Amino acid sequence: MGSLFDTLYDILFQPLIAMKNIGEQKPISQAVIVFLSSIVLPIWALYFGLKMIDMPEIVNVVIAIKVVSGIMIWVMGSAIWHLIAEFFGGRGSAVGLFAALGFVYIPWIFIIPLWALTTLMPTSSKVLLMTISVLAVLLWSLYLHVIAIKEVHQLSTATSVLVMLTPMLFVGLICVISFIFIGSAITHMPMGL
C-alpha cells in the first residue's frame, strides 16, 4: 500500500484499483483518518451553508444526524453489507470492507468548494445549487460504496448494487408490512363514542 496521498489520488481518479488495493491491504488507520476528515470538514461547510440560507435552527440537528449516521453506517454497514455479500457469494474480508468503506465518504469533502462557489451565486439560486451539489456528492459516494463492495468481495456490479440496496429494501419491506398491519388494526378498531 502506498502513502495516504497515493490512496486518495486513486480513490478520486481510479477508484476500482484503489478499492481493490484497500480490500487486500486493509489500511485501517488511513481509513479512520479519511473517514473523520470526510465527516468533520464538511460539517464546517454545512454550518456556514445553513446559516447562509437562514436555516440556523436546523444546524444542530443536521450536524448530529450527519455524525451519528456516518459512524453508524460505517461500522454497522460494514458488518451488514459483509454478511449480505457473503450470502451473495462474496469472498472478501470484513476488515477489508470496513477499510474500504472508510474511504467512500471522501466526496463529501468536495461539498466545501461547491458550497463556497454557491456563495458567489445570486441568493435566489443558492438553495437549488446547494441541493444539486449535495445530490451530486451523494451519488458519487453511493457509487464508491458499490465499487468498495464489488472490489473487496469480487462481485459483479449488479450484485454489488443489490448487496448495497438489500438492507434498505429490507427496512422498506418491514415498514410496508408494519403499515399494513397498523392500518388494518386501526380500521378494525371500534370508533363509537
Partner 1 sequence: MYKKSVVIVIGIVILLSLIGLAFRGGSKAKVNQTEKIAIIYVEGVIIGGRGQSNMFVEQGGTDQVIKQLHAAQEDDSVKAVILRINSPGGSAAASQEVGVEIKKLRAKGKVVVTSMGDVAASGGYWLAACTDKIYANSTTMTGSIGVYVPYANWEELYKKIGIYQEKIKSGAHKDILSPERPMTSEERAIIQVMVDDIYEQFVAVVAEGRKMDAQEVRKLADGRIYTGNQAKQLGLVDELGNMYDAIDGTAQLAGISGKPEIKEYGKQSPWNMLFGANEQASSLLEKVIFNQARNALNSAAPAEISPDKWQVK
Least Å distance, CB 116 to partner 1, is 4
Query: Alpha-carbon torsion 64, 69, 72, 75, what sign?
Result: negative
Q: 41-45, long-range: CB within 8 Å, 24+ apart, which pairs?
A: 41/109, 41/112, 42/66, 42/108, 42/109, 42/111, 42/112, 43/67, 44/112, 45/111, 45/112, 45/115, 45/116
Query: How far apart are the C-alpha atoms of 83 and 78, rounded to whole Å?
Result: 9
The residue (of 40 and 176) whose beta carbon lies closer to partner 1 is 40
- Closest separation in Å from C-beta 38 to partner 1: 11
- 25: cell is 491491504
Taking residue 125's Cβ as centre, other Cβ atoms within 10 Å add up to 11
Q: Which is nearer to partner 1, 80 or 114 (CB)?
A: 114
Minimum distance from residue 57 beta carbon to partner 1 (Å): 6
Take residue 133 and report the three cell numbers written for it.
451539489
Q: Pick the closer one to partner 1 by CB: 5 or 191.
A: 5
**Smallest separation, CB 127 to partner 1 (Å):** 15
- Judged on CB neighbours under 10 Å (0-12, 13-18, 19+), 149 is buried
Nearer to partner 1, 49 or 92 (CB): 49
Contact 78, 101 (CB under 8 A): yes
Reference 166, options 102, 80, 96; nearest CA is 80
CB of 173 to partner 1, least distance (A): 26
Min dist CB 65 to partner 1, Å, is 10
Contacts with partner 1, residue ranges (CB under 8 A)? 2-3, 5-6, 8-10, 12, 41, 44-45, 47-49, 51-52, 57-58, 61, 109-110, 112-113, 115-117, 119
Nearer to partner 1, 41 or 161 (CB): 41
| CB-nearer residue toward partner 1: 117 or 177 | 117
